[in-house]
């Protein structure tokens, strides 16, 4: 290992060494459904069921997510890389998504997602250059399949055992 890094780019590269899953978070915005690709997700608590994700303050869709009372977290399969790339594009604002209202859910679930978490916002925290959104999971679904991953700036796959 070389010496310790100091620049923002080196820091970003170091963070990229952590492989993550890929999620499209969806909400109902003032102009209709809105979606955003994220990899800053974690489970907080099993009881109560709490999760969090982080929203960049500079996100053009940020205001829509901050105003929403609910969000849906859609964990993507390896076959949904194009969908992840689409929702990661900057400058899109609020735009329609191919959403399916999952039976019994209030949030938007994407067809063929590996797992879906229907969440009610319980807290928004401003921290550094991000907002942390904490949600209580009120409904969920999951199915078998291979997960889409993100590692060192590239998409990959985690195969189901």
Answer whether residue 108 shows pLDDT above 90: no
* CA separation for the pair 9, 46 (Å, rounded): 35
Write out the two tokens for 10: 């080196």
Question: Domain residue spans in the chain?
Answer: 19-145
| Beta carbons within 10 angstroms of residue 17's beta carbon | 8
Answer whether residue 102 shows pLDDT above 80: no
Band of the pLDDT at 157, cuts 50, 70, 90? very high
Element (H, E) at 81: helix 81-88
Residues making up the chain, counted from first to last: 161
Render pLDDT for 2-58 as a digit per residue (tens, 0 to 9): 678 889 999 989 999 999 999 999 998 777 788 999 999 999 999 999 999 999 999
Write out the two tokens for 45: 């608590």
Report the CATH architecture of 19-145: Roll (2.30)
Position 94 scores a pLDDT of: 60
End-to-end CA distance of the chain: 32
Q: Show the 3-state SS of 36-67.
A: EEECCEEEEECCCCEEEEEEECCCCCHHHHHH
Render pLDDT for 45-94 as a digit per residue (tens, 0 to 9): 999 999 999 999 999 889 999 999 999 999 999 999 999 998 998 876 56
Please tell me the pTM assigned to this model: 0.90
């Amino acid at each position: 290992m070389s010496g310790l890094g100091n620049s923002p780019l080196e820091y970003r590269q170091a963070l990229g060494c952590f492989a993550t899953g890929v999620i499209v978070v969806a909400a109902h915005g003032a102009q209709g459904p809105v979606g955003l690709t994220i990899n800053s997700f974690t489970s907080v608590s099993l009881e109560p069921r709490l999760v969090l994700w982080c929203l960049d303050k500079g996100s053009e869709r940020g205001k829509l997510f901050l105003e929403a009372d609910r969000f849906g977290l859609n964990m993507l399969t390896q076959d949904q890389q194009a969908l992840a790339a689409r929702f990661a594009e900057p400058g899109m604002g609020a735009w329609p998504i191919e959403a399916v209202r999952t039976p019994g859910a209030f949030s938007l679930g994407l067809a063929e997602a590996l797992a879906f978490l229907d969440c009610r916002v319980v807290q928004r925290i401003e921290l550094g250059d991000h907002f942390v959104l904490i949600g209580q999971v009120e409904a969920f679904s999951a199915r078998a399949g291979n997960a889409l991953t993100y590692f060192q700036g590239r998409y990959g796959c985690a195969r189901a055992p």
